[in-house]
């Protein structure tokens, strides 16, 4: 067209040219409208003037921000600012688009109802003939779900790493504890060998001397060495057996199907105390249970946790005073927290972390048990989104804190 | 100052292990006095709460996994005390976990032996420790 001189065009030509242009314009307009319709279907679109005032929003913008169009037009984007980005974040954004460059990033916004959403955002600045921004077109995609998935994936990875570390610690402890009785089996096995050697040589000497039982020479191996060796070998084998049984019990916990339902803790504790009445009476122990909030958990497993705590209170009661146990509860941040407080021997601060360790026992000489109760309690509670911890003063008593998700209604 | 032959302190919660260690020490030709402690707290009380003869020296055979205070913690506390820092300590344990061996050496144990311990291992350890005997002096503890 550049080589044609308009002055030389006839009227008919001109009319034809105008019609062509009109057709082209209509086609361009239709194309633009189609693209915009498709864009509106897919993206959250907003246009702002150079000062940042919103001049246009599409339906998706209104839907995600939960604001009506009239509430948005004329406002700036601070209306949806979540406060979750540092000032530099937006400074960088404005510097970029102010210089006529495209900005791309992920923004956390706040909707009218206070909920937060994430948008993957591209802001295109359009400049006027002086190179100054004329308007900004922001196109966004809702990535709230992706962000939530990323975050839960991150949490899950951290949780797995934590579990893995726990598992490693358990394998370490267990392998150590299993080798310990094995050392006795091996060591005292050698002692049996030596005893056999002594008996054999005593028998040979006696035979050479013409018979007769060499009583004096047989006494030490038969009366001291062999019985001692057998005692330690048998104890070692029994110990290994009980460690393996405990380990199996622990591993089985992860496979038990849980039935989570509202639990009436006062009823549960009533049953536990009735079952333990004999031991409690024998120890002249008193257990006081205050009204407890209800929680959500598995009846059998939770009952075992509390039975174990009361059993521990009995085992570690103070020899100089009768056992007093007070059980009370409260609800805090959606968790029902139960306190089992005793006036027993208590646990020194440096030993407190160890009480939940597998097979760890603070007083193996004076108390029975396999060192599994609290380890199992911890695992059982974790599976029910609960927790257990201890507060204690040596010589005064211990308080075990058990938390489980609270149930809305009270028991 | 004439130093006494060191008293050997076996710190092990397992009675069988303690008997086997004692028998092996005797079989390795040692006639030193041997005392047995059943957990880490007991040996810490011995060093920190009871007065000692200035001429008395000690060799500590320390198990790692024990109730209350474990062997690593005992080692750490003994080595953190300026008066006890030079004490000879042999760690006796059932694991050969590299990280644990390293940790014990970092904390300053003299020798690390894996159980079960036989005469040969002990004889070797005692020979090595023999070099350190002059360092096993424990200054008297002033009663608190």
Residues A175 and A183: their CA atoms lie apart, in Å, by 12
Mutate to test the interface with B, among A165, A187, A236, A243 (most CBs of B within 10 A): A187
Nearest residue of A to residue B114, measured between CA atoms: A183
Strand partners, A400: A340, A390
Q: For residue A115, what are its two tokens?
A: 């909920």
Contact B67 A360 (CB under 8 A): yes
A242 preceded by a cis bond (ω within 30 of 0): no
Strand partners, A76: A53
The owner of tokens 């059980």 is A327
- Please tell me which of the candidates B13, B64, B94 has its beta carbon nearest to residue A183: B94
What residues contact residue A255 under an 8 Å CB cut-off, 6+ apart? none
Query: How confident is the model over A308-336, as a mean pLDDT?
Result: 92
Nearest residue of A to residue B73, measured between CA atoms: A350
* H-state helical runs in A66-143: 69-72, 87-98
DSSP-derived secondary structure for B99-135: HHHHHHHHHT-SEEEESSP-HHHHHHHHHHHHTTGGG
pLDDT for B121 beyond 80? no
Chain A, chain B: beta-carbon pairs less than 8 Å apart:
56
What whole-number percentage of chain A has pLDDT above 90? 55
| Helices and strands, number each (H, E), in chain A | 12, 12
- How many CB atoms lie under 10 A from the CB of residue B52? 16
- ipTM for this model: 0.77
10 Å CB burial of residue A277 (0-12, 13-18, 19+) is exposed
Asked if residue B42 lies in contact with residue B136, where contact means CB atoms within 8 angstroms, the answer is: no
B138 touches chain A (CB under 8 A): no
Residues of chain A neighbouring B38 (CB-CB closer than 8 A):
365
Contact B68 A365 (CB under 8 A): no
Contact B38 A365 (CB under 8 A): yes
What residues contact residue A330 under an 8 Å CB cut-off, 6+ apart? A293, A336, A337
Contact B73 A236 (CB under 8 A): no
pLDDT in tens, A173-214: 788 788 888 889 988 998 899 999 999 999 999 888 887 888
- What pLDDT score does A202 carry? 92
Contact A365 B19 (CB under 8 A): no
- Please tell me which of the candidates B68, B73, B95 has its beta carbon nearest to residue A362: B68
pLDDT for A153 beyond 90? yes
Asked if residue B119 lies in contact with residue B25, where contact means CB atoms within 8 angstroms, the answer is: no
- What pLDDT score does A139 carry? 96
Predicted confidence band of residue A290 (pLDDT cuts 50, 70, 90): very high
Predicted confidence band of residue B130 (pLDDT cuts 50, 70, 90): low
Of the candidate ranges A88-97, A226-235, B53-62, the one whose mean pLDDT is the lowest: B53-62
- Sheet bearing A44-48, strands edge to edge: A54-57, A44-48, A133-142, A116-127, A103-110
Residues of chain B neighbouring A236 (CB-CB closer than 8 A):
16
- What pLDDT score does A73 carry? 94
- What pLDDT score does B129 carry? 67
Mutate to test the interface with A, among B14, B39, B42 (most CBs of A within 10 A): B14
Predicted confidence band of residue A9 (pLDDT cuts 50, 70, 90): confident
Higher pLDDT, A114 or B57: A114
- What pLDDT score does A247 carry? 85
Nearest residue of A to residue B69, measured between CA atoms: A351
- What pLDDT score does A6 carry? 59
- What pLDDT score does A324 carry? 93
- What pLDDT score does A34 carry? 93
- Please tell me which of the candidates B67, B73, B115 has its beta carbon nearest to residue A183: B115
Q: Which residues numbered 76-105 in B keep a CB inside 8 Å of some CB on A?
A: 93-95, 97
pLDDT in tens, A336-382: 999 999 999 888 887 787 788 777 777 676 666 777 888 888 888 88
The owner of tokens 């000692």 is B52
Q: B4: distance to nearest CA of chain A, Å?
A: 31
Q: A316: distance to nearest CA of chain B, Å?
A: 14
- What pLDDT score does B135 carry? 34
- What pLDDT score does B83 carry? 86
Asked if residue A306 lies in contact with residue A274, where contact means CB atoms within 8 angstroms, the answer is: no
B16 touches chain A (CB under 8 A): yes
Q: Which H or E run includes A53?
A: none
- How many CB atoms lie under 10 A from the CB of residue A300? 11
- Between CA B90 and CA B34, with CA B117 as vertex, the angle to 5 degrees is 60
pLDDT in tens, A68-81: 999 999 998 889 99
pLDDT for A141 beyond 90? yes
pLDDT for A310 beyond 60? yes
Residue A144's alpha-carbon distances to A83, A309, A350, B75, in angstroms, are 16, 44, 45, 53
Q: Contacts for A79-87 with beta carbons within 8 Å, 24 or more apart?
A: A80/A109, A80/A110, A80/A111, A81/A109, A81/A110, A82/A108, A82/A109, A82/A110, A82/A116, A83/A110, A84/A108, A84/A116
Residues of chain B neighbouring A235 (CB-CB closer than 8 A):
16
Higher pLDDT, B132 or A32: A32
Residue whose C-alpha is closest to residue B34's, from B45, B23, B46 = B23
Residues of chain B neighbouring A173 (CB-CB closer than 8 A):
65
- Please tell me which of the candidates B13, B64, B116 has its beta carbon nearest to residue A364: B13
What whole-number percentage of chain B has pLDDT above 90? 17
Query: How confident is the model over B47-52, as a mean pLDDT?
Result: 85
pLDDT in tens, A76-123: 888 999 999 999 999 999 999 988 899 999 999 999 999 999 999 999
Nearest residue of A to residue B22, measured between CA atoms: A187
Q: A163: distance to nearest CA of chain B, Å?
A: 20
- What pLDDT score does A374 carry? 87
Q: Which residues numbered 178-197 in A keep a CB inside 8 Å of some CB on B?
A: 179-180, 182-184, 186-188, 191
- What pLDDT score does A70 carry? 94
Asked if residue A158 lies in contact with residue A75, where contact means CB atoms within 8 angstroms, the answer is: no
B56 touches chain A (CB under 8 A): no
Residues of chain B neighbouring A186 (CB-CB closer than 8 A):
116
pLDDT for A402 beyond 70? yes
Strand partners, A117: A109
């Amino acid at each position: 067209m550049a080589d044609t001189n308009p002055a030389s065009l006839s009227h008919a030509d001109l009319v034809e040219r105008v019609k062509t242009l009109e057709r082209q314009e209509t086609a361009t307009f239709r194309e633009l409208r189609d693209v915009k319709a498709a864009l509106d279907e897919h993206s959250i679109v907003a246009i702002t003037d150079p000062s940042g005032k919103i001049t246009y929003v599409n339906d998706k913008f209104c839907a995600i921000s939960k604001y009506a169009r009239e509430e948005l037009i004329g406002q700036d984007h601070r209306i949806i600012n979540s406060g979750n980005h540092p000032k530099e974040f937006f400074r960088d954004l404005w510097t970029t688009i102010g210089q006529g460059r495209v900005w791309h990033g992920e923004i956390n916004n706040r909707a009218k109802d206070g909920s937060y959403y994430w948008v993957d955002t591209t802001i295109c600045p359009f400049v006027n003939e002086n190179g100054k921004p004329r308007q900004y077109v922001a196109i966004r995609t809702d990535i709230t779900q992706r962000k939530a998935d990323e975050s839960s994936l991150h949490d899950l990875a951290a949780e797995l790493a934590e579990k893995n570390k726990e598992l490693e610690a358990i394998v370490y402890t267990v392998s150590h504890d299993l080798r310990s009785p094995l050392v006795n089996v091996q060591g005292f096995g050698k002692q049996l060998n030596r005893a056999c050697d002594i008996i054999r040589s005593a028998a040979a000497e006696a035979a050479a001397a013409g018979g007769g039982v060499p009583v004096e020479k047989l006494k030490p191996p038969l009366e001291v060495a062999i019985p001692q060796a057998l005692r330690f070998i048998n104890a070692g084998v029994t110990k290994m057996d009980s460690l393996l049984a405990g380990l199996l019990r622990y591993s089985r916990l992860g496979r038990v199907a849980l039935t989570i339902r509202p639990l009436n803790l006062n009823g549960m504790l009533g049953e536990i105390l009735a079952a333990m009445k004999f031991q409690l009476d024998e120890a002249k122990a008193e257990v006081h249970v205050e009204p407890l909030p209800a929680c959500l958990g598995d009846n059998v497993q939770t009952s075992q946790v509390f039975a174990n705590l009361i059993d521990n209170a009995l085992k570690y009661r103070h020899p100089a005073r009768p056992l007093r146990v007070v059980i009370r509860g409260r609800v805090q941040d959606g968790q029902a927290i139960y306190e089992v407080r005793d006036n027993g021997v208590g646990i020194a601060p440096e030993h407190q972390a160890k009480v939940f360790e597998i097979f760890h026992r603070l007083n193996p000489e004076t108390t029975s048990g396999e060192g599994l109760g609290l380890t199992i309690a911890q695992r059982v509670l974790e599976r029910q989104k609960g927790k257990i911890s201890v507060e204690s003063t040596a010589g005064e008593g211990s308080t075990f804190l058990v938390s489980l998700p609270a149930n809305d209604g009270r028991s | 100052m004439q130093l006494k032959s060191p008293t050997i302190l076996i710190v092990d919660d397992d009675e069988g292990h303690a008997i086997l260690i004692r028998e092996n020490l005797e079989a390795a030709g040692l006639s030193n006095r041997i005392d047995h402690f059943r957990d880490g707290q007991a040996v810490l009380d011995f060093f920190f709460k009871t007065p000692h003869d200035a001429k008395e020296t000690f060799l500590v055979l320390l198990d790692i996994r024990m109730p209350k205070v474990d062997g690593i913690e005992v080692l750490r506390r003994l080595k953190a005390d300026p008066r006890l820092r030079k004490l000879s300590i042999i760690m006796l344990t059932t694991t050969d976990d590299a990280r644990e061996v390293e940790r014990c050496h970092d904390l300053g144990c003299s020798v690390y032996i894996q159980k079960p311990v036989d005469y040969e291992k002990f004889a070797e350890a005692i020979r090595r420790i023999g070099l350190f005997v002059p360092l096993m002096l424990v200054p008297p503890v002033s009663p608190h």
